[in-house]
Structure 1
Amino acid sequence: MTALVGDIGGTNARFALWRGQQIESVRVLPTVDYPRPEDAIRAYLQGVGLAVDALQAVCLACAGPVSGDEFAFTNNHWRLSRKAFCQGLGLSNLLLINDFTAMALGMTRLREGELIEVCPGQSETGAARLVIGPGTGLGVATLLPLKDGGWRALPGEGGHVCLPIGSAREAALWTRLHDKLGHVNAEAILSGGGLLELYRTSCALDNEAVKLTSPAEVTAAALNGDAYAAAVLEQFCVWLGRIAGDNVLTTGARGGVYIAGGIIPRFVEFFRRSGFSQSFRDKGNMSRYFDNIPVWVVTAKYPGLEGAGVALQQLLEGRHSGD
């Protein structure tokens, strides 16, 4: 079987061929360059020298809740009708899944050297695992082990839960964010754009001049010894710990936590030294609940594509992978 798998986020669409239960011919295309996902797929196929009619199936992992015929991508301009998509490309098999369903299933395909330990621990047998990752947005999913040795991914929109407040400074930052944004969700801070928003809000709170103009500049300044930028990045890590800990308590994810997405791997050593671990377990009388829960940063290049392939394979084999 030759299938196409895609992992489509707010900024980039990653495509690959799925053959022999492996991905190959990976290409990354900016979503802004194409009016529709169909156009990007045709460009990808042309680039790898494959005709559209050579495909037996397509699985696309998409940012946002997936249901019904019409799908609007959360963080880019694309829209998709399942019916029109299949007719336009001559397909009979199209699987749409949430992007963090794919990311979660991608954790089952990790290879040696693709995890960096942040918090030591031991995965509890049979327990759920949490997958969370700041990128263009904040993705959250739960991975459940099945009795037959397989896995089921539970999609959700955990990036849109309310941003928690755990200190007086966080309350002051939240107040300014609320004045500007109204509802303050976790993604408002725990994302690429959110890091810049956190920097600007911090500057306004502290009467500091705004000198940095992109998330990359904030990160680079922090890593190069800028004390103020480092404090902002530290707050980012602390807030990620609070959200991850809340999700562990909600889902019972004592099997471990995977920190995925494109942001944290850029400053892993800073992250490991940050207040993430303390805020992760700072839950009052439930703090001991976290004593043996491992946390890892995922450094694999294309876990979303791998997970889309797993989802497609499970569908073809009649096993449930999640929505």
Structure 2
Amino acid sequence: MTAYRLLADIGGTNARFALQAEGSDFADVEVLACRDYDDIGAAMDAYLARAGARGHATDAIRHAAVAIANPVEGDFVRMTNHHWCFSIAALRDARALDTLLVVNDFAALAMALPHLDEAGRERIGGDIAATPGRPIGLIGPGTGLGVSGVVPAPGPGGTRWIALAGEGGHASFAPVTRQEVDVLDALWEEHGHVSAERLLSGPGLEAIHRVLSGERLAAAAITARALDGTSAACRATVDVFCAMLGSVAGNVALTLGATGGMYIGGGIVPRLGSLFHASAFRARFEGKGRLRPYLARIPTWLVTEPYPALRGGAVMLDAATRQP
């Protein structure tokens, strides 16, 4: 009978689950809507019940890793962009787990970056080579805005990677154009503090469109109309969004010294397709005055690996359960 461990990637909208046997790829990946469950335990139980009904041995699971869109500090976790909250110890004990590793979702995603091959990423911008063994940056707009990175550290078996778990998406947004000043002014009136996440997220895309056009549309409708060419206003919103993302990504790259490369994750950018490639993202990424040459040599990639946070969580679980 296969001995599985449980992996989960919990965002503000969706919860992704998978099983993994030692030395194997994922089995039985399933995506559940968070709104359909009262808490993380209910979602976990529902997934395991369905996976068991599909013939997997879920009763014997003793190790699990959960990557979650939230700071993880201490035992109690309360999600920022969803109502779920839980005690790690209580969740572990209720499901008879020997190990329950709970980590920030973008720290887990960042841990996957050194292991991505060309099939798991898409180059944005010119053919620029990364500097091996240097920090790697990560930014990703979705329900919120994730920011992370990994830094190399020498180890007895060679280079190992250390993930950075922070909340850089909540750093204050800085406009670059007068149009962005107008957007910031409008959101200041509503929120007081305006973080990068207020603009670079699904709700942020809607906010940009509302300020620029006066029209209230869901993020999915904005991207759909921009892509099919039926709305010049929606296309303008997407262009502003991509330019802002370039500036913030450049800030992260400068802060981390990410000459190992800068990656874009999250659920929004992959849906933009050719609009993202044609946008001002890369120009704004490099547009840092005297530091333009420094940023010009940093490659940027879009993460296309379907479940990168699950993969990174598996790497972190390996380390947590490894025998000394």
User: What TM-score, normalized by structure 1, do the two folds share?
Assistant: 0.93
Q: In the TM superposition, what is the alpha-carbon distance from 1:87 to its structure 2 partner?
A: 2.0
- Percentage of pairs with the same residue: 40
Match in the other structure for 1:267: 272
Distance in 2 between the 1:287 and 1:18 partners? 43
Q: Does structure 1 retain, via aligned residues, the 8 Å contact 2:4–2:58?
A: no
Distance in 2 between the 1:76 and 1:165 partners? 28
Instruction: Give the number of equivalent residue pairs.
Output: 313
Q: Does structure 1 retain, via aligned residues, the 8 Å contact 2:146–2:167?
A: yes
Aligned pair partner of 1:149 in 144, 156, 159: 159
1:165 and 2:169 correspond: no
**Other structure's SS at 1:146 match:** strand
Distance in 2 between the 1:269 and 1:114 partners? 18
Segments of structure 1 that go 5 or more residues without pairing to the other structure are: 205-209
- 1:41-190 paired onto structure 2 within 5 Å: 41-49=44-52, 50=56, 53-120=59-126, 121-147=128-154, 148-190=158-200
Aligned pair partner of 1:17 in 5, 9, 19: 19
13-22 or 189-198, which deviates more: 13-22
Amino acid at match of 1:126: G
60-69 or 49-58, which deviates more: 49-58
Distance in 2 between the 1:223 and 1:59 partners? 37
What per-residue deviation string (whole Å, max 9, x for no partner) do you get for residues 129-151 of structure 1? Answer: 10111011100111123332332
Q: Does structure 2 retain, via aligned residues, the 8 Å contact 1:45–1:51?
A: no
Q: In the TM superposition, what is the alpha-carbon distance from 1:300 to its structure 2 partner?
A: 1.3
1:220 and 2:230 correspond: no
Q: In the TM superposition, what is the alpha-carbon distance from 1:106 to its structure 2 partner?
A: 2.0
1:233 and 2:238 correspond: yes
Amino acid at match of 1:89: R
Q: In the TM superposition, what is the alpha-carbon distance from 1:289 to its structure 2 partner?
A: 0.9
Q: In the TM superposition, what is the alpha-carbon distance from 1:52 to its structure 2 partner?
A: 5.5
Higher relative contact order (CA 8 A, sep 6+): 1
Aligned pair partner of 1:246 in 244, 251, 257: 251
Q: In the TM superposition, what is the alpha-carbon distance from 1:73 to its structure 2 partner?
A: 1.3
Distance in 2 between the 1:224 and 1:40 partners? 36
**Other structure's SS at 1:54 match:** coil
Amino acid at match of 1:13: A
Q: In the TM superposition, what is the alpha-carbon distance from 1:285 to its structure 2 partner?
A: 1.1
**Other structure's SS at 1:41 match:** helix
The alpha-carbon distance between structure 1 residues 172 and 47, as it changes in their structure 2 partners (threshold 3 A), is same
Q: In the TM superposition, what is the alpha-carbon distance from 1:90 to its structure 2 partner?
A: 1.4
Distance in 2 between the 1:255 and 1:268 partners? 24
Distance in 2 between the 1:8 and 1:220 partners? 25
Q: Does structure 1 retain, via aligned residues, the 8 Å contact 2:4–2:57?
A: no
Q: In the TM superposition, what is the alpha-carbon distance from 1:51 to its structure 2 partner?
A: 6.1
**Other structure's SS at 1:127 match:** coil
Distance in 2 between the 1:43 and 1:141 partners? 30
Match in the other structure for 2:10: 8
- RMSD over aligned Cα, in angstroms? 1.5
**Other structure's SS at 1:253 match:** coil
Match in the other structure for 1:207: none
Distance in 1 between the 2:83 and 2:117 partners? 34
Amino acid at match of 2:48: L
48-57 or 58-67, which deviates more: 48-57
Distance in 2 between the 1:101 and 1:258 partners? 13
167-176 or 43-52, which deviates more: 43-52
Distance in 2 between the 1:7 and 1:109 partners? 18
What per-residue deviation string (whole Å, max 9, x for no partner) do you get for residues 275-296 of structure 1? Answer: 1111111111111111211001
Match in the other structure for 1:296: 301
Q: Does structure 2 retain, via aligned residues, the 8 Å contact 1:52–1:89?
A: no
